[in-house]
Structure 1
Amino acid sequence: MITPKFDLQQDADFLYLSIHAPHIKAQNAEIEAMGSEIHFCIAPYFLKLELPGNVLDDERSHASYDIGKGMIHIKFAKETPGEEFPNLDLLTTLLVNKEKSKTPKKALIEEVGDVPAAASTEGEVQADDIDPEIDWRNIRFDDPNFDWGLLQRMEDKKMKYTSTSNYGFNDQHTGLLKYLEGNEINVLPEPELTDPVQRSQIRKQTEDEKFDPEYYLADFYDHEMIDELIHYTPDYVELSKRAKSGEPIPFEFTENEQQGLLSLPKKSYIIENPKRIYLNLVALIFAYAYDHRTTLGDPSSESVWNIGIMAPNIACLDTNFSSIQEVACACFRRSLAYPLYRNWNLAETCWKDTYAILSLGKRWILRVLLRMKSLFEHHDVYYIYNTMIINDYAYWIQTANDNVLEALTYQVMEYMPKKSDVGWQLEELEAESIQQMEEDNDGED
């Protein structure tokens, strides 16, 4: 069966569902609403939605079919008039698998760090486990005393997955790179045989080997093109400035983005290390921001490689980060070792871009992930990284904790790497080069 395109709108008292189902006999369609669930079925289409609130299938319900546009328009009354249904634009989260398990879900809690995740005697998370008084603004991602098991329990209430895999999103994939040929993004000699510690070691080693002091100095002195890239203003940077000034920023997914949402695989997860998931999101966003800025918003044939090689969790499968500082250092090192433009000021600007995207919230983050997904899915080789990482991030971000995202965004804004952090003695390199140029100029005089 085919999942049709659909759209949901609401007013104070009614929910409006529009379904694109061309070339059907509308009178044969089965439409049913039961509490928070809506079922629609007519060959070859099947749609089952779980809403964030209840609707009524009563005499106020109404359905009509626009033959010319192939659209079914359905109206349901809300069980509670005036109730606002949140997140109706996050379509993936509303979809229900055709065969939904009828067994009660148990929260499979994993330990994060040294902090045990508490579960009730029935194996389910209780509301008392969740502390509503957390000061999320002051949460530090490198704080060993923060109970990440708390966040785990909050997420496990809605996400469930048993993982035995060893790389990709939530370490849930294996074997995908074994026979993949022509992969110029991957830098691991044997990606299927390396553990997380080895991946970090190989990443740092290959970055050290790839860093070229002469290339770096050439971009250090060549300001013309770099300045053009730095002065470019992406849409999300402008929107972030407007939002910071208090201006409301409307958001609506495009038709292509809605289709991208519907194409995401329906999954649920147990997040083994939520801290690591959030931190590696920053690396993905930075990689996208770098490519977007250096192509002036017009992706090139090299954009997929650019994003892939810049993201340590793609090129090296390295997700072994414990702080914003570690993520930032990896992002800056890769930006100075691999891409076409290797300039410190450019890297700083892309880090600010990363903050701008994060500051706009999960919908803009999702938009960026969908853009990445679209780029990767059209490549004959690199599409595999959608399966491993990007699709899962695009699905997961729709249910990510808003408070944690806010804390993450604040720390990205607060921290800016120094040249001494990357380990290549950049300041000494620049000083020696400037001194040499001055001596050469004096010699000519």
Structure 2
Amino acid sequence: MLTPRFKLTQDENHVYINVHAPYTNIGDTEIDVDGENFLFVSSPYFLRLRLPGRIIENERSKGSYTCDSGDFNLTFDKENPAEHFENLDMITSLLAPRDIPNLNPNLVESLEEDGITIEDSSENDNGNSYAYGFADKVTVEFHEIGSEFPQIFELKVPERVPKEERNGLRIEYEDSKFSSDHYLADFFDEELIAPYLAAKMHWNDPEFNKDADFNEEEVAVLKELPNKHYLFSKNEHKQVLLGLIDILFGYCYDKRTTLNDSNVESSWTINKLSSTLSWFCSFKDMKQVLIACYRRALVYPIFRNFELCHKVKNDVASMFRKGKKLIIKCMIEIHQMFNTSNDARYILNQLYIKDYLVFLQKCRTEEFTELFNNVTNIEIVKGDLDLDLEELEAAADMVQQEETEVMENEMAVRMASMSLLGLNKNNDIYEEDSDEETDSSSSSDSSSDSSDDSSDLDSDDDPS
């Protein structure tokens, strides 16, 4: 059976359900409403929803079918008029009944009824120190996954490297890959970096609508995801949120350095800049994850600039300020990039992105506000990165100053030489002119004498 594309909207007293089922026989369609439960069956389609509030089927209920579009348009009354149904646009979280595990209520804090439960203690932390994937829940599904996908993962055998050792190994590897020449070239080439520092992300445009509906492609992804209930320890829940920051930093870096026009290299960029996706790392606090993001942004991509990292951090914060719908849309875009990547990055969707798409639909709005504040309030300085950036810049400035002084000295010597040469030439000209003047005087004198002589001859020849 196929899950049809669907959309739910509401007003004060009604819920409107649109089901897109173009290849069905309307005579075989069954629709059933029972409080929070909605059922639509029409071969080859099957749709079962669990709504965030109760609706009723009565004499005011309406239904119609549009043959041209293949859409069922249904209207039901809310059992409690004026009740607002939360998250009607969170497609996956509406699918299938919720499966709440049998837990001791004294040990858990339920964030929302739709499927995130956090134990109040850390006793439920995954006991496997070699696990990885979303919330470190993957333990035995893959064998030597890093070796099988070397173009995706830098850690080759996560099942042999304990989680607490991965960040240390990652840092050592990044140190070996860091290019001081590349960093300094981008540091001094202000014209190269300027367009990317000045870029504006599309979600910060005044006309951007953060509440826009999911488009058809986005709905197609969300409706195919399995609805899950997540049981986390507090540490696991925190790691999931920090991993989200890590992934979105790579996404925002790509958007800024492509001027909002992602390309065939974008999936590589997001994958490479994320320690979560490249090293199966997890983090303990916000500053640790942001330092990792900055480091990788100065080691791997084509543009390696510290101020650019600041801009990207602010982009991440602005995403959380817009709310979870934007973040879900961005994660869907990442999912699509990985699915169409030539380097089999679909495996990252299996390990991380699909679960993030389900998880995000269940998060509270307050969590995104808290993440916005945390990202905004953390300040990263160059010394935090342990890449000796300030020392490199100081040494480069000194070399540049010395080169400038040498050039200035060479120029001064050349100017002095030209001045002396000019002076010599002027002296030569003056002396030649003097000689010519002397010769001219002599010639004039000779002419005068000759003239006198000629006068004498004429006088002698004059018959008078």
Over residues 303-334 of structure 1, what are the superposed CA-to-partner deviations in whole Å (9 max), with x where a residue is unaligned? 11100010111001101x22111111111000
- Aligned residue number for residue 95 of structure 2: 95
- Aligned residue number for residue 120 of structure 1: none
2:284 to 322, 329, 332: 322
TM-aligned CA deviation for residue 354 of structure 1: 0.7
Equivalence map 1:327-406=2 (5 Å): 327-380=289-342, 381-406=344-369
Equivalence map 1:8-407=2 (5 Å): 8-96=8-96, 105-107=101-103, 123-124=104-105, 153-154=110-111, 158-159=115-116, 166-174=131-139, 175-176=141-142, 178=144, 181-238=148-205, 250-272=211-233, 273-319=236-282, 321-380=283-342, 381-407=344-370
SS in 2 for 1:328: helix
Shift of the 82–64 alpha-carbon distance from structure 1 to 2, 3 Å rule, reads: same
Q: Gaps (5+ residues) in structure 2? A: 119-123, 409-464
Shift of the 340–428 alpha-carbon distance from structure 1 to 2, 3 Å rule, reads: same
Aligned counterparts of 1:322 and 1:347: Cα–Cα separation in 2: 21
TM-aligned CA deviation for residue 153 of structure 1: 4.6
TM-aligned CA deviation for residue 10 of structure 1: 1.3
Stretch moving more, 271-280 or 352-361: 271-280
**2:101 partner amino acid:** K
Aligned counterparts of 2:87 and 2:22: Cα–Cα separation in 1: 27
Aligned counterparts of 2:95 and 2:211: Cα–Cα separation in 1: 24
SS in 2 for 1:154: strand
SS in 1 for 2:298: helix
Over residues 269-296 of structure 1, what are the superposed CA-to-partner deviations in whole Å (9 max), with x where a residue is unaligned? 2123211111221111111000111111
TM-aligned CA deviation for residue 249 of structure 1: 5.3
Aligned counterparts of 1:54 and 1:155: Cα–Cα separation in 2: 17
SS in 2 for 1:367: helix
The answer to whether the Cα contact below 8 Å between 2:182 and 2:304 also exists between their aligned partners in 1 is: yes
RMSD of equivalent CA atoms: 2.2
Aligned counterparts of 2:406 and 2:149: Cα–Cα separation in 1: 50
- Aligned residue number for residue 131 of structure 1: none
Aligned counterparts of 1:341 and 1:327: Cα–Cα separation in 2: 20
Aligned counterparts of 1:48 and 1:219: Cα–Cα separation in 2: 54
TM-aligned CA deviation for residue 39 of structure 1: 0.4
SS in 2 for 1:300: coil
Q: Tell me which protein shows more helix as a share of its residues.
A: 2
The answer to whether the Cα contact below 8 Å between 1:21 and 1:72 also exists between their aligned partners in 2 is: yes
Shift of the 182–105 alpha-carbon distance from structure 1 to 2, 3 Å rule, reads: closer
The answer to whether the Cα contact below 8 Å between 1:31 and 1:40 also exists between their aligned partners in 2 is: yes
TM-aligned CA deviation for residue 92 of structure 1: 0.8
TM-aligned CA deviation for residue 265 of structure 1: 2.6
Aligned counterparts of 1:77 and 1:164: Cα–Cα separation in 2: 48
The answer to whether the Cα contact below 8 Å between 2:65 and 2:72 also exists between their aligned partners in 1 is: yes
Aligned counterparts of 2:12 and 2:326: Cα–Cα separation in 1: 26
TM-aligned CA deviation for residue 191 of structure 1: 2.4
TM-aligned CA deviation for residue 205 of structure 1: 1.0
Over residues 85-123 of structure 1, what are the superposed CA-to-partner deviations in whole Å (9 max), with x where a residue is unaligned? 1111111110006xx76xx7312xxxxxxxxxxxxxxx2
TM-aligned CA deviation for residue 67 of structure 1: 1.0
Aligned counterparts of 1:172 and 1:155: Cα–Cα separation in 2: 21
Give the percent of matched residue pairs that are identical in Structure 1 and Structure 2: 32
Aligned counterparts of 2:187 and 2:61: Cα–Cα separation in 1: 66
TM-score by length of 2: 0.80
Aligned residue pairs total: 395
**1:259 partner amino acid:** A
- Aligned residue number for residue 135 of structure 1: none
TM-score by length of 1: 0.84
SS in 2 for 1:337: coil
SS in 2 for 1:55: strand
Aligned counterparts of 1:4 and 1:217: Cα–Cα separation in 2: 54
Q: Does 2:397 align with 1:434?
A: yes
Aligned counterparts of 2:46 and 2:114: Cα–Cα separation in 1: 27
Q: Gaps (5+ residues) in structure 1? A: 108-122, 126-148
The higher-RCO structure (CA 8 Å, 6+ apart) is: 1
Stretch moving more, 250-259 or 47-56: 250-259
